[in-house]
Amino acid sequence: MITSEMQIDKEEHLYRSDQKLAWFGYGEWVEEFDQVEFTYEFYKCHILRVVKKEPFSKEERFFGGHLCGYVQIPKRHPLYSKGWDDIDLDCHGGITCNENHEEHWIGFDCAHMNDLRPSYEKFKKTDETMIQFEKEHPLPKNFKQHFVFSPTYRNIEFCMNECRIIVDQLIEIEKKK
């Protein structure tokens, strides 16, 4: 949910639709932006699609397609320059990135077990070994409702909302300072 407190600074396609279609198959990710920068309550936020070329594949194969979200912690904040053990924020999958160089960014990823990772979904549908395995070992129908077997794609809107949730928590921590 994009709110009036959010200021979109940049929306960008880093990859062409035909590239994403070839790498990951069809899905919402083909047309949506690969990078979004926005400001929420004066905090800089950044959503970025992960795309990595498989280095040892004979074919041109790419990993990822999922999104990650990041929030910059300003120097004035009590959590600025804190390490992993000192940052306890609630977000999707927990904080999985904590980079403190000239700017301090924290982030989360959407590549957890219950997340749909486009490259993996395409692999399951196109790899002969995977197709044969699924034919020989079909899942019982009631298993297909389990989140492991029916993952959810986390889109730009989801990631923007998770960044908003992180910022709201950062604001609360700053108020208690």
DSSP string covering 25-85, please? -SSGGGTS-SEEEEEETTEEEEEEEEEEE-TT-SS--EEEEEEEEEEEEPTTSTTTT--GG
Domain ranges of the chain: 6-176
pLDDT by residue for the chain (177 residues), tens digit each?
555 578 999 999 999 999 999 999 999 999 999 999 999 999 999 999 999 998 888 878 888 999 999 999 999 999 998 887 788 999 999 999 888 878 899 999 999 989 999 998 888 888 888 778 888 888 777 766 665 567 999 999 999 999 999 999 999 999 987
Query: What are the φ and ψ backbone dihedral angles of 59, each rounded to 5 degrees?
Result: -90, 160
Q: Are residues 93 and 109 in contact, defined by beta-carbon separation less than 8 angstroms?
A: yes
